[in-house]
Amino acid sequence: MEEMYGLIGQMKVAEGKRGEVIAAMLAGTRDMPGNIAYMIAEDIEDPNSIWITEVWQTKTDHANSLNLPSVQEAIGEARAHITGFGTRVETKPVLRG
């Protein structure tokens, strides 16, 4: 069985655009097949930074999600406001038994 896959990533956005980017991502990431968790958080210290913690049933599910129409739409809306990416860590999530 393919093992679970996770990502922890930091996204940098243009001044004043964090709320707009988060709204687009929340809207676009509902109901993604194989997604166990998609947690968005605002960085308290950096007003232009967003952190996302993702848990997927498999790495393939994550890869496939990038082609979902809702995700493509979110990326399209967010792209203009994204200024870069910081930390990005691939993980193997450990869920409670």
Question: Quick one: 15 or 45, whose CB is closer to a copy of itself?
Answer: 45
3-state secondary structure of 65: helix
Stretch that binds a copy of itself, among 4-12, 66-74, 77-85 (CB under 8 A): 4-12
**Beta-strand relationship, 49-56 and 5-13:** antiparallel
For a copy of itself, which residue of 1, 31, 44, 69 counts as binding (CB under 8 A)?
Answer: 44
Residue selected from 1, 30, 67, 69 as contacting a copy of itself according to rule CB under 8 A: 30
As a whole number of angstroms, the distance between CA 40 and CA 27 comes to 12
d(CA 25, CA 71): 8
Closest residue by Cα to residue 29 from 6, 13, 47, 52: 52
Interaction between residue 39 and a copy of itself (CB under 8 A)? yes
Question: Under a CB-based contact definition with an 8 Å cutoff, are residues 82 and 10 in contact?
Answer: no
Quick check: 60 binds a copy of itself (CB under 8 A)?
Answer: no
Q: Verify binding: residue 91, a copy of itself, rule CB under 8 A.
A: yes
The contact set with a copy of itself (CB under 8 A) reads 6, 8, 10, 22, 26, 30, 37, 39-45, 51, 53, 55, 87, 89-94, 96
